Amino acid sequence: MIQVAVFGYGTVGSGVVEVIDRNNSIVSDNSGDKVNVKYILDLRDFPGDPNESKIVHDVDVILNDDEVSIICETMGGVGAAYKFTKAALEKGKSVCSSNKELVAKHGAELIQVAKAHGCAYLFEASVGGGIPVLRTITTALTAERITRIAGILNGTTNFILTKMEQDGADFADTLKIAQDLGYAEKDPTADIEGHDTARKISILSDIMSGHFIDSDAVQTEGITKITSSDITLAAKAGYSIKLLGLASRYEDDSVSTMVAPFLVAKSHPIAGVNDVFNAVFVTGNMLGETMYYGKGAGKLATASAVVADVIDAARKGSSCMYKGWDETLAPAASLADAEYRFFVRCASDDADAVKALFAGVQESVTEGSETGFITSKMTQSGFDASAAKAAAMILGSVRVYE
Between 15 and 76, whose beta carbon lies closer to its own copies? 15
Q: What is the DSSP letter of 34?
A: -
SS3 294: strand
Between 198 and 330, whose beta carbon lies closer to its own copies? 330
Between 192 and 279, whose beta carbon lies closer to its own copies? 279
Query: Cβ of residue 19: shortest distance to its own copies, in angstroms?
Result: 5
- Cα–Cα distance between 393 and 354 in angstroms, integer? 7
Query: Cβ of residue 79: shortest distance to its own copies, in angstroms?
Result: 28
Which residues of the shown chain bind its own copies in the complex (CB under 8 A)?
19, 22-23, 26-27, 30, 124, 130-132, 135-136, 139-145, 267, 269, 271-274, 277, 279, 284-295, 298, 300-301, 303-305, 307-308, 310-312, 316, 319
Nearest CA-CA partner of 125 in 153, 83, 149: 153
Query: Cβ of residue 90: shortest distance to its own copies, in angstroms?
Result: 27
The answer to whether 163 is a known catalytic residue is: no
Hey, how many other C-beta atoms are within 10 angstroms of the C-beta on 39? 23
Between 156 and 162, whose beta carbon lies closer to its own copies? 162
- Cα–Cα distance between 160 and 174 in angstroms, integer? 6
Between 298 and 382, whose beta carbon lies closer to its own copies? 298
- Cα–Cα distance between 267 and 9 in angstroms, integer? 42
Catalytic residue among 200, 242, 299, 355: 200
Query: Cβ of residue 99: shortest distance to its own copies, in angstroms?
Result: 18
Query: Cβ of residue 298: shortest distance to its own copies, in angstroms?
Result: 8
SS3 33: coil
Give 83: exposed, middle or buried? Use CB within 10 Å, 0-12, 13-18, 19+: exposed
Give the CB-side neighbour count of residue 299, counting CA atoms within 13 A.
10
φ, ψ at 208 (rounded to 5°): -65, -40
Secondary structure element (H or E) that encloses residue 165, with its range: helix 155-167
Residues recognised as catalytic? 200
